[in-house]
């Protein structure tokens, strides 16, 4: 488990899309954000108090999160001194970078000398078993998508929150670095060796009380030419009872890989169901989650109504409308 609360390290980053980790934690776990540390006025402002590590530690912080995802996942040289300062102040370091902090001699030496932990969430420390495919008690929901980076994490968080508000025993199960930092635990599926992805998914969502729900953050997309592998492993290992299809209506094709247009929502759903039935023949779709951030309120609601009529499922935006009806359908 990652110690909380956090000091959010923002470096000098001014591009919002590079700060999705920090923004996600701020939006979904504001109670875990003590302060921010920016290296320049140009850096993105999360609206938190400005503190250096010593002051943040005195204010209750227990770890510093590297809230920026640099291109390529490398560690900027400029960040080494702030990381050392944070550890000297008594903070663990939480990183979602592809680069390993333990490969930087100064950071590794300081962590060992000071007794600090480097929580490198993209680099699991535990081994995972080969999946069994055997059914286990408990109920599971998995968010899946027509593409990457269109709302699977936010949809999962919103559904888990709505369930808990109704008194339902539900856990959000994180499968990516930002989700892990929000939840404090999880498995970064994109860092698991391919033979063990389904086994890692079984580990992430173990046997539970029959009325317990695990709401599992999806990864990739089954029709994505680059990232379908992680999606399939999650489908088989999660053994979901319910699927929610996430879609961004402003896109007509895979965003990161030109030349691969979307299939219809119906065809995409049928493919997901066919593959998921290998380990749970009773799996069903309970809704379609739209990312309507590119649309005005009236247009977003009109599109949702049209899709409900054509697709025969509740259609909602987890941040704007319809979450209650979608959870009703999940529980039906």
Distance CA 46, CA 9 (A): 10
Q: What is the average pLDDT across 96-122? A: 96
Domains of the chain: 6-120 (3.40.50.720), 139-331 (3.40.50.300)
Q: What is the average pLDDT across 225-242? A: 97
Residue 10 pLDDT level (bands cut at 50, 70, 90) = very high
**Tens digit of each residue's pLDDT (9 = 90 or more) over 110-137:** 999 999 999 999 888 889 999 999 999 9
Residue 73 pLDDT level (bands cut at 50, 70, 90) = confident
Give the per-residue pLDDT at 131: 97
Give the per-residue pLDDT at 23: 94
Distance CA 218, CA 203 (A): 15
Strand partners, 77: none
Q: Residues 213, 215, 221, 227: what is their CA dihedral angle, to the nearest 10 degrees?
A: -110
Residue 70 pLDDT level (bands cut at 50, 70, 90) = confident
Q: Where are the alpha helices (DSSP H) in the chain?
A: 20-28, 53-58, 80-88, 105-114, 152-165, 177-183, 197-204, 228-238, 265-276, 297-311, 323-331
**Tens digit of each residue's pLDDT (9 = 90 or more) over 249-259:** 999 999 888 89
Whole-prediction pTM: 0.92
Per-residue b/e over 163-175, b at no fewer than 16 CB within 10 Å? beeeebebbbbbb
With a cut of 90, say whether residue 1 has pLDDT above it: no
């Amino acid at each position: 488990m990652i110690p909380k609360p956090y000091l959010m390290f923002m470096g000098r980053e001014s591009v919002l899309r590079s700060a999705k980790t920090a923004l996600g934690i701020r939006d979904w776990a504001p109670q875990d954000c003590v302060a921010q540390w920016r290296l320049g006025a140009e850096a993105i402002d999360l609206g938190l108090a400005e503190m250096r590590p010593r002051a943040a530690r005195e204010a209750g912080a227990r770890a510093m999160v590297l809230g920026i995802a640099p291109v390529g996942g490398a560690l900027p040289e400029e960040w080494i001194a702030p990381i050392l300062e944070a550890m000297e102040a008594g903070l663990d370091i939480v990183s979602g970078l592809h680069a390993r902090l333990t490969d930087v001699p100064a950071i590794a030496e300081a962590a060992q000398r000071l007794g600090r932990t480097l929580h490198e969430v993209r680099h699991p420390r535990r081994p995972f078993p080969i999946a069994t495919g055997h059914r286990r008690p408990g109920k599971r929901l998995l968010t899946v998508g027509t593409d990457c980076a269109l709302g699977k994490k936010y949809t999962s968080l919103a559904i888990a929150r709505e369930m808990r508000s109704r008194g339902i025993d539900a856990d959000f199960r994180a499968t990516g670095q930002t989700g892990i930092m929000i939840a404090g635990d999880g498995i970064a599926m994109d860092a698991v060796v391919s033979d063990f992805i389904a086994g890692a998914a079984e580990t992430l969502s173990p046997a539970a009380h029959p009325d317990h729900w695990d709401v599992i953050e999806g990864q990739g997309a089954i029709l994505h030419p680059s990232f379908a592998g992680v999606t399939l492993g999650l489908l088989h290992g999660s053994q979901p009872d319910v699927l929610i299809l996430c879609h961004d209506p402003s896109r007509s094709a895979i965003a990161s890989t030109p030349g691969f247009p979307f299939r219809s929502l119906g065809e995409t759903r049928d493919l997901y169901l066919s593959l998921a039935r290998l380990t749970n023949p009773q799996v069903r779709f309970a809704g379609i989650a739209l990312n309507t951030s590119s649309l005005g309120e009236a247009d977003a609601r009109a599109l949702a109504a049209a899709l409900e009529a054509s697709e025969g499922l509740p259609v909602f935006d987890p941040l704007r409308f319809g979450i209650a009806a979608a959870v009703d359908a999940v529980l039906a």
